[in-house]
Amino acid sequence: MEEYNNIINGEKVQSGSTFGVVNPANGDVFAICQSANVEMVDQAVAAARAAFFEWSKTSQEERKAKIHAIGDALEANMADLMALVTAETGKPMSGLNGVGSGMEVGGSIAWTHYTAELDLPVDIIQEDDIASIQVFRKPLGVVASITPWNWPLMIAIWHVMPALRAGNTVVIKPSPLTPLATIRFVEMVSEILPPGVLNVITGDASIGEALSKHSDVNKIVFTGSTQTGRNIMQAASANLKRLTLELGGNDAGIVLDDVNVKEVAPKLFAAAFHNNGQTCACLKRLYVHESIYEDLCEELARLAKTVVIGDGMRDGVELGPLQNKAQLAIVTDLVADAKANGGRFIAGGHPIEGDGFFFAPTIIADLEDGHRLVDEEQFGPVVPVIKYSDVSTIIGRANQNESGLGGSIWSSNVTRAAALAQQLECGTAWVNDHGAIQPDAPFGGVKQSGFGVEFGSYGLEEYTSLQTIKITKN
Instruction: Indicate whether 442 belongs to any domain.
Output: no
Same domain, 188 and 255: no
* φ, ψ of residue 427 in degrees (nearest 5): -70, -35
pLDDT at 14: 92
Task: Classify residue 196: in a domain, yes or no.
Answer: yes
pLDDT of residue 370: 96
Residue 15's nearest CA partner among 39, 34, 31, 1 is: 34
pLDDT in tens, 221-275: 999 999 999 999 999 999 999 999 999 999 999 999 999 999 999 999 999 999 9
**What's the pLDDT at 90?**
98
Q: In what order do the strands lie in the sheet with 198-200?
A: 11-13, 6-8, 198-200, 169-173, 142-146, 219-223, 242-246, 450-451
The alpha carbon of residue 171 and the mean position of all alpha carbons in its chain are separated, in whole angstroms, by: 18
Phi, psi of 248 (to 5 degrees): -60, 155
Look up the CATH number of the domain holding residue 71: 3.40.605.10
Whether 68 and 96 map to the same domain: the answer is: yes
Helix axes 205-213, 226-236, angle to 10 degrees: 40
pLDDT score recorded for residue 474: 80
Same domain for 168 and 75: yes
Asked if 378 contacts 277 with a C-beta cutoff of 8 angstroms, the reply is: yes
Query: ∠ at Cα 71 (52, 316), nearest 5°?
Result: 135
Per-residue pLDDT at 472: 97
In 128-207, beta strands by DSSP E: 131-139, 142-146, 169-173, 198-200
- 188/94 same-domain check: yes
Residue 436 counted as domain residue: no
Q: Environment class of residue 413 by beta-carbon count within 10 Å: exposed (0-12), middle (13-18) or buried (19+)?
A: middle
Q: Count of alpha carbons within 13 Å of 324, Cβ hemisphere only?
A: 15
Q: Are residues 284 and 220 in the same domain?
A: no
If asked whether residues 360 and 458 sit together in one domain, one would say no
Please report the pLDDT score of residue 402 as a whole number. Answer: 97
The reply to whether 438 falls in a domain is no
Residue at 83 is within a domain = yes
Residue 132: beta bridge partners?
127, 471
In a domain, 453, yes or no: yes
CA angle 423, 395, 458 (to 5 degrees): 35
Determine contact, residues 369/375, Cβ cutoff 8 Å: yes
The reply to whether 215 and 350 lie within a common domain is no
What CATH number has the domain bearing residue 397? 3.40.309.10
468 plus 333 within the same structural domain: no
Q: For residue 25, what pLDDT is reported?
A: 98
Q: Count the residues in the chain.
A: 474
Residue 423, class by beta-carbon neighbours within 10 Å (0-12 exposed, 13-18 middle, 19+ buried)? Answer: middle
Known catalytic membership, residue 280: yes
Name the residue range of residue 8's domain: 3-247+447-472
- Annotated active-site residue in 88, 246, 376, 461: 246
Domain membership of residue 316 (yes or no) is yes
Residues 280, 282, 297, 426: which is the catalytic one? 280
> How many domains are there within the chain?
2
Are 247 and 146 in contact by the 8 Å Cβ rule? The answer is: no
Distance, C-alpha 294 to centroid of its chain: 33
Cα 410 to Cα 292: distance, rounded to the nearest angstrom: 13
- Secondary-structure percent of the chain, ordered helix, strand, coil, rounded to 5: 40, 25, 35
Same domain assignment for residues 224 and 301: no
Q: Is 202 in the same domain as 336?
A: no
Eight-class DSSP state of 309: B
Residue 246 annotated among the catalytic residues of the structure: yes
Same domain, 230 and 125: yes
What is the reported pLDDT for 12? Answer: 97
> Do 192 and 309 fall into the same domain?
no
Give the list of residues 6+ apart from residue 300 with CB closer than 8 angstroms, or none. Answer: 265, 268, 269, 346, 347, 363, 383, 385
Instruction: Point out the residues of the chain with pLDDT beneath 50.
Output: none
441 part of a folded domain = no
| DSSP conformation class of 319 | B
